[in-house]
Amino acid sequence: MFLISFIISFSLSAQTANNDLIINIRGISIFRGNYLLINIYKHRNSIKILYELNDSVSYQMMLNNKKFNRTQKGTVGINKDSVDKRYKRIYGDGPKYKKDSLLISTYTYPLYTKLLKEISSTSTRDLENKEINRNGVTIDGTHFYFNIKSGKTERKIYANAPDSISQPKLYKLIHQTLYLFEKDK
């Protein structure tokens, strides 16, 4: 009896795990010094979204800072620990991040749930859309990295400044997710 109930519960948990979806999005804008991290977890009828954006220290601000520039020029031939101590003295512990999270129901947001399902079921080739993007140039240095885990499948996707033409589904995912946070405020 114990063995039968164990097998049933194991197969049910395996089925649920196969319905789970995890999407990690990491966006970096080199010239602006911005960093964005979004983690989306879909489990059964709920979706949890974690959001992180650097808030205060950007690379551009550091380039305009005289103390930073003097420290940069003085780093040649100095050991790494000494340089790290200088940065810490000038900037504290580094960038500050704005973090937030959101828990939503798949029933309340059916269009967003449908978008997650589309992302999960669309091939990596179609999401990257390399044919259209092969001659593209990223002027602002914005790059996105996507890690999509669905069941036992894991995919890594790279996108240069996705927009509604170059990578429409990835673009929509980023914007719809950020819209949910704005709407929740």
pLDDT value of residue 49: 96
What is the model's pTM? Answer: 0.69
- 10-residue mean pLDDT series, the chain (185 residues): 39 49 89 82 95 66 59 54 59 69 95 96 88 60 89 90 88 94 76
- Residue 46 shares a structural domain with residue 72: no
Query: Which pair of structure tokens corresponds to residue 106?
Result: 């798949």
Q: How high is the pLDDT of residue 130?
A: 76
| Strand, coil or helix: 167 | coil
Nearest to 43 by CA among 116, 122, 127: 116
Same domain, 47 and 66: no
Looking at residue 36, its pLDDT comes to 87
Q: Tell me if 9 is assigned to some domain.
A: no
Q: How many residues does the chain have?
A: 185
Q: Which CATH number does the domain housing residue 178 bear?
A: 3.30.1560
| Spatial CB neighbours of 86, under 8 Å, sequence gap ≥ 6 | 71, 74, 75
- Within a domain: 67: yes
